[in-house]
Amino acid sequence: MLPILKKKEHYNFGDIVFYIITYLVFAALTIACIYPFYFLIINTLTANEISSKTAVLLLPQKIHFDNYVKILKLNGLTDALFVSVARTIIGAALTVFASAFLGYLFTKKEMWGRKFWYRFVIVTMYFNAGLIPWFITMLNLGLRNNFFAYILPAIVAPFNVILVKTYIENTPQALQEAAQIDGAGYFTIFIKVVWPLCVPILATVAIFAAVGQWNSFTDTLLLMTDSHLYTLQFILYRYLNQASSLASIMRNSGAGIGQSVSNLAGSQTAQSVRMTVSVVVILPILFVYPFFQRFFVGGIIIGAVKG
């Protein structure tokens, strides 16, 4: 009996063929989605003289962690790691706070011009001035080579505001009213009553905001020329694109980045550096993903119902 079939039911030949094909196709799709990441990880753990010559496909050979230790000595990588982590934490925290607070304020019917301001925010989901006008505006605001360029534009996210507002509207209002009668102000009610109620939806918002910040690439590309503000994504892109130059830098010790790379043991190859940086970039997502998967899914389903 095939393990994919349940014992008690009766299957005809057609059913069995159907199941075998369906399971095989889904297994293949799943492997196609996950194997590339597995491949990157085992190849960074395999001794570089093996991984550079043959394709290591299933298990790491001669496991070592040199790639990870040495990659930290690459010029700019620790800076980039710091910038990426900082923008992810600060950006996500502010987005969560803004979405929660704004969502809460928009449930208050007594707010001056509530309907107008709500639409004012929401409508920004549907239009976009365009890349160059946005770029010029950012320059005029002095946000070129400025860390705040990563944070400020992302704080007010209309979709998140809708999510939180709808969520609050579906929670019992009695708690808020009770707090109001006890003399609590709007902000106290928000912190003491509304925030704890909204934790599930805020977790979803936090996850999406954090992933968005971590993966963001275009803003660095457009706005940052100061290498201290480069993110991991951007550094990775540069390593990928300067493949040949990186390889030659690693062979001949030169100036700048060359010096730091030539400090690495000779066993490091351009490919091993690229793969190691890729793993560093993807690892946080791989770690976070299994725990927060239900929040990701929860988010899209709530979004679908409202949208």
Binders of other proteins among residues 218 to 247 (CB under 8 A) are 218, 221-222, 233-234, 236-237, 240, 243
Say if CB 230 and CB 86 are below 8 A apart. no
> Is 217 one of the binding residues for other proteins (CB under 8 A)?
yes
3-class SS of residue 184: coil
> Is 68 one of the binding residues for other proteins (CB under 8 A)?
no
User: In this structure, what token pair is assigned to residue 115?
Assistant: 């309907």
d(CA 304, CA 299): 9
> Is 26 one of the binding residues for other proteins (CB under 8 A)?
yes
Binders of other proteins among residues 83 to 112 (CB under 8 A) are 98, 101-102, 105-106, 108, 110-112
3-class SS of residue 56: coil
Contact stretch for other proteins (CB under 8 A) within 74-82, 167-175, 260-268, 288-296: 288-296
- Most distant pair of Cα atoms in the chain: their distance: 75
Where helices occur in 106-231 by DSSP H, the ranges are 114-122, 131-140, 148-151, 158-169, 174-181, 186-189, 195-197, 199-215, 218-223
Shortest Å, Cβ 232 to other proteins: 9
Shortest Å, Cβ 41 to other proteins: 12
> Is 296 one of the binding residues for other proteins (CB under 8 A)?
yes
> Is 211 one of the binding residues for other proteins (CB under 8 A)?
yes
Measured from the CB atom, the residue of 212 and 254 that comes closer to other proteins is 212
Shortest Å, Cβ 116 to other proteins: 10
Measured from the CB atom, the residue of 180 and 267 that comes closer to other proteins is 180
Q: Kindly determine how many residues on this chain lie close enough to bind other proteins according to the rule CB under 8 A.
A: 94
Contacting other proteins (CB under 8 A), which of 80, 249, 250, 270? 270
> Is 293 one of the binding residues for other proteins (CB under 8 A)?
yes
Contacting other proteins (CB under 8 A), which of 36, 196, 200, 266? 36
Measured from the CB atom, the residue of 23 and 82 that comes closer to other proteins is 23
CA dihedral of 60, 65, 67, 72, whole degrees rounded to 10: 150
DSSP designation for 266: T
Measured from the CB atom, the residue of 125 and 199 that comes closer to other proteins is 125
d(CA 191, CA 199): 12
Say if CB 69 and CB 272 are below 8 A apart. no
Which residues lie below 8 Å from residue 232, measured CB to CB, with a gap of 6+?
77, 80, 81, 83, 84, 277, 280, 281
Shortest Å, Cβ 92 to other proteins: 14
Shortest Å, Cβ 59 to other proteins: 15
For residue 276, give the nearest of 92, 71, 46, 119 by alpha carbon: 71
